[in-house]
């Protein structure tokens, strides 16, 4: 596995982010959107840290259900107006109240022909907490405790109609044509449908935890296929502090850094070595246990990329490329970020912005260690996004750009940056196993 890593363009600075390709497009919208609330009207710096964490967490915890996920992903990938987005999608918001116990019983009977209490000694009637398309109950056999995830009924079924509701709104906001939009929506639909497939999720969870066993300071619950089915997944109940609470608590900077570094390394291992990654890094998917180790949960949404695509994508992190306009342009073309039909003027505009964006968003990778608690970084991302948003020339470009594959890679990096910000952590953004330029 270590050898595989050498094929990554591996200047220290050349290893990250989503930032890359889209440069301009990336998580900018999202970051700037939250950045606005952080840096906007409230210049009192002492409260900035707290707000930062709150805001980012809020944003993620609220995004549930099909339309919101779609919205989330499109807004990350496309240069979408955050205001318009927020207002429009607030109306389409889908929030699922908890499943009633009788329905959980019915689900069990349908899956296993047994009631929960015929399988477990105890089973909580109320959900312990929610999951994006289901909820988690606590159960026990003897003194062994389990987390039982139960899916909402009809989720898969309602998904398509949910997407149908969002589509026209998204089209309007982004000013895209149906045809340009189709590949993106297909990609999102595919991933979302996968997410409703608990049998697949079980398989992926087991695979991923097996493959990642060698990583330090990160652990996974055991999964129990014998109690799992189409609508139910059973795993170990792990006591730990949810990441968002952990970040708010009094954990020392060293501890937070350790947690952040473990998560960061985990993602780089997935993206670069496994070429399949968990595309939804948000605080709800991580716990921190009593030894300060990270527990990773919930692998419903994973994305596979090809080695070729990864190489093309991460090429942007080569700092030399930032000085090499032609090379940069070639790399952009490879990812369909510059298209055949673009005029010279358009190419200039795109290149200019993408290089700026890449430089800015790639910063964590150019430095030996990077402090995500740095407000100035957030602020410059926000300002950059704001300039992009208001730029009249950029606004006029409506063609869809970039491969649909980038949606989830960008999303993963956006989530990762947010987590790092949440933890106010200083980490080394190098991927595990890679050293200085080879």
Partner 1 sequence: MDKAELMGRYREHVLETGHPPASVYAFTKSFGASERDFFEQFASFDALESGIWRTAVDETVAKVQESDDWEGFTAQQKLLTFHFAFTDQILNHRSFFLARFPRTTDRPGWPSKQLHGMRDSFVPFAKSIVDTGMERSEIVCRGPLNRGYPQGLFLHFLTVVDFNLNDDSQGFERTDAFVEKSVRLAFDLIGTQAIDSAADLVRFLFRRKS
Residue linked to tokens 């409260």:
47
Nearer to partner 1 (CB atom), residue 134 or residue 421: 134
Near partner 1 by CB under 8 A: residue from 43, 113, 142, 154:
154
For residue 97, state whether it binds partner 1 (rule: CB under 8 A).
yes
Question: Least Å distance between CB 125 and partner 1?
Answer: 8
For residue 103, state whether it binds partner 1 (rule: CB under 8 A).
yes
Question: Least Å distance between CB 167 and partner 1?
Answer: 21
- Residues contacting 10, CB < 8 A, separation 6+: 431, 434, 435, 437, 438
Nearer to partner 1 (CB atom), residue 90 or residue 103: 103
For residue 105, state whether it binds partner 1 (rule: CB under 8 A).
yes
For residue 100, state whether it binds partner 1 (rule: CB under 8 A).
yes
For residue 306, state whether it binds partner 1 (rule: CB under 8 A).
no
For residue 120, state whether it binds partner 1 (rule: CB under 8 A).
no
Question: Least Å distance between CB 105 and partner 1?
Answer: 7
Backbone phi and psi for residue 215, each to the nearest 5 degrees, phi listed first:
-70, 145
Angle made by CA atoms 85, 86, 92, in degrees to the nearest 5: 90
What is the per-residue DSSP string for 104-149? HHHHHHHHHSS-HHHH-SEE-SS-SEEETTEEEEEEEETTEEEEEE
Q: Which of these segments, 28-36, 79-87, 105-113, 342-350, binds partner 1 (CB under 8 A)? A: 105-113
- The answer to whether 14 and 5 are in contact (CB under 8 A) is no
Q: Which of these segments, 8-16, 94-102, 246-254, 426-434, binds partner 1 (CB under 8 A)? A: 94-102
Nearer to partner 1 (CB atom), residue 126 or residue 222: 126
For residue 197, state whether it binds partner 1 (rule: CB under 8 A).
no
For residue 293, state whether it binds partner 1 (rule: CB under 8 A).
no
| Helices marked H in 304-402 | 307-314, 319-323, 325-334, 344-361, 363-366, 375-390, 392-396
Q: Which of these segments, 36-44, 96-104, 358-366, 389-397, binds partner 1 (CB under 8 A)? A: 96-104
Report the run of H or E that residue 343 belongs to, with start and end.
Answer: none
Residue 50, SS3 per DSSP: helix
Question: Least Å distance between CB 301 and partner 1?
Answer: 21
- Residues contacting 324, CB < 8 A, separation 6+: none
For residue 152, state whether it binds partner 1 (rule: CB under 8 A).
yes
Question: What is the Cβ-side half-sphere exposure of residue 77, based on CA atoms within 13 angstroms?
Answer: 26
- Residues at the site binding partner 1, with contacts judged by CB under 8 A: 97, 99-103, 105-106, 110, 115, 117, 152-154, 157-158
């Amino acid at each position: 596995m270590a050898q595989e890593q050498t094929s990554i363009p591996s200047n220290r600075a050349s290893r990250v982010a989503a930032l890359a390709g889209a440069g301009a497009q990336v998580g900018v919208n999202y970051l700037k959107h939250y950045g606005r609330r952080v840096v906007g009207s409230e210049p009192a710096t002492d409260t900035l840290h707290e707000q930062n964490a709150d805001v980012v967490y809020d944003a993620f915890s609220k995004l549930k259900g099909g339309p919101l996920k779609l919205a989330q992903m499109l807004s990350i990938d496309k240069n979408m107006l955050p205001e318009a987005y927020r207002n429009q999608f607030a109306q389409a918001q889908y929030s699922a109240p908890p499943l009633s116990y009788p329905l959980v019983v019915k689900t069990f009977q349908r899956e296993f022909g047994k009631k929960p209490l015929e399988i477990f000694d105890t089973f909580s009637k109320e959900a312990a907490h929610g999951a994006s398309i289901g909820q988690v109950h606590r159960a026990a056999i003897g003194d062994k405790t389990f987390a039982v995830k139960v899916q909402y009924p009809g989720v898969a079924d309602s998904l398509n109609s949910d997407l149908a509701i969002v589509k026209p709104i998204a089209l309007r906001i982004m000013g895209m044509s149906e045809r340009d939009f189709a590949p993106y929506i297909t990609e999102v639909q595919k991933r979302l449908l996968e997410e409703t497939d608990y049998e697949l999720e079980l398989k992926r969870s087991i695979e991923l935890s097996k493959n990642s066993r060698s990583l330090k300071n990160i652990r996974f619950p055991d999964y129990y296929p014998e109690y799992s089915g189409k609508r139910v997944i059973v795993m170990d109940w792990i006591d730990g502090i949810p990441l968002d609470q952990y970040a708010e608590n009094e954990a020392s900077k060293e501890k937070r850094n350790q947690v952040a570094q473990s998560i960061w390394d985990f993602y780089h291992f997935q993206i670069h070595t496994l070429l399949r990654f968990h595309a939804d890094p948000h605080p709800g998917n991580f716990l921190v246990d009593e030894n300060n180790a990270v527990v990773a949960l919930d692998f419903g949404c994973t994305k596979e990329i090809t080695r070729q695509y990864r190489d093309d994508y991460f090429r942007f992190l080569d700092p030399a490329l930032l000085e090499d306009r032609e090379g940069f342009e070639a790399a952009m073309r490879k990812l369909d970020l510059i298209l055949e039909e673009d005029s010279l003027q358009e190419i200039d505009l795109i290149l200019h912005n993408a290089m700026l964006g890449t430089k800015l968003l790639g910063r964590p990778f150019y430095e030996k260690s990077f402090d995500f608690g740095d407000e100035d970084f957030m602020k410059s991302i926000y300002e950059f996004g704001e300039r992009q948003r208001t730029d009249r020339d950029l606004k006029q470009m409506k063609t869809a750009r970039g491969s649909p594959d980038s949606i989830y890679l960008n999303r993963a990096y956006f989530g990762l940056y947010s987590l790092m910000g949440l933890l106010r952590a200083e980490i080394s953004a190098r991927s595990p196993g890679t050293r200085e330029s080879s």
